[in-house]
Structure 1
Amino acid sequence: MASLLSNVLPEPRRKLVFVYPDVSISQCCELMIENDIGSLLVTDEYNLIGLVSERDLVRKCLSKGLDPNKTTAGDIAFADVTILSFHDTVEKAMQVMTQTKRRHILIKENEEIVSIISIGDLLFYLLEDKARVIEQLENYINH
């Protein structure tokens, strides 16, 4: 049976941090450090504009010599963000991350973004799941 994304989410859920598109990259870095997160959701008053990840900061700003005090979240936000639901499978999330080469997926519930799953969350879940299976098999064999 396929594992659902609802099983992957860390508890308590990681806080989503939103920024406006005019927030500087320097401020984005500070927010990521303060909140111990790897991505920010970029929104205007009503809509999701995109996502800014640590990877985006390096590839789209710093590696190009752009000034992080003048470059904004809106300048580098990745707009084509994948949004899945709690009822989608872990396999689907892994497939999407592999195809898009993105490390974060947003989770929507009742038309509202409620969480974010990173590739690290998926790997942690898969390793824990494999450990449970091994333990069950060992118990079966030994008893």
Structure 2
Amino acid sequence: MLQVKHLLEDKGREIFSISPDAPVLDAIKAMAERTVGALLVIQGESLVGLVSERDYARNVVLKGRSSATTSVLEIMDRDIHSVGLDDSVDLCMRLCTNKRVRYLPVIDKDKVVGVVSLGDLVKAVISEQSEQIEQLQRYIAG
């Protein structure tokens, strides 16, 4: 069974983050430069939230606020759902579905060690299913 640690081995453990005091404009620029849809919000060494393109659309654009003067702290999601290295891809998929989230910070010993996205999870499931289908086809042909 695939676990979060296996996903991070493949995709890497790079963490894209921003300070809660930063202007939202900086967060949007950082997301665009890195081609990601969200950033972890980290203060010191603590994970305090997550800011996504969705947060920007709903809490800045639709409310007519300024990206340059609104801080990340004002729009970030504080209700963070995280996973551990030994958690299964299946558990992560259920968490994303039930909590309606797209990004899961990975925590190990109280430290953020990576992030898995819904896209990472779907890719892993498809890959695992393809391998199983290949094995069954070889078995049947064999």
TM-score by length of structure 1 reads 0.91
How well do the aligned residues superpose, as a CA RMSD in angstroms? Answer: 1.5
**Alignment map for 1:126-141 (pairs within 5 Å):** 126-141=125-140
Percent of pairs identical after alignment? 28
1:114 maps to 113
Equivalence for 2:89: 90
- Equivalent pairs counted in the alignment come to 142
Task: Show the counterpart of 1:74.
Answer: 73
User: What CA distance in whole angstroms lies between the structure 2 residues aligned with 1:26 and 1:138?
Assistant: 51
Which residue does the alignment assign to 2:6?
7
Distance verdict in 2 for CA 1:14–1:87, change over 3 Å: closer
Q: Whole-Å Cα distance in 2 between the matches of residues 10 and 104 of structure 1?
A: 17
CA distance in 2, matches of 1:77, 1:57: 9
Aligned to 1:39: 38
Q: How far apart, in 2, do the equivalents of 1:47 and 1:125 lie? A: 28
Per-residue CA deviation, residues 83-115 of structure 1 (Å, 9 max, x unaligned), is 211111112111111121110001112221000
**2:76 maps to 1:59:** no
TM-score by length of 2: 0.91
Counterpart residue number, 1:16: 15
Unaligned stretches of 5+ residues in structure 1: none
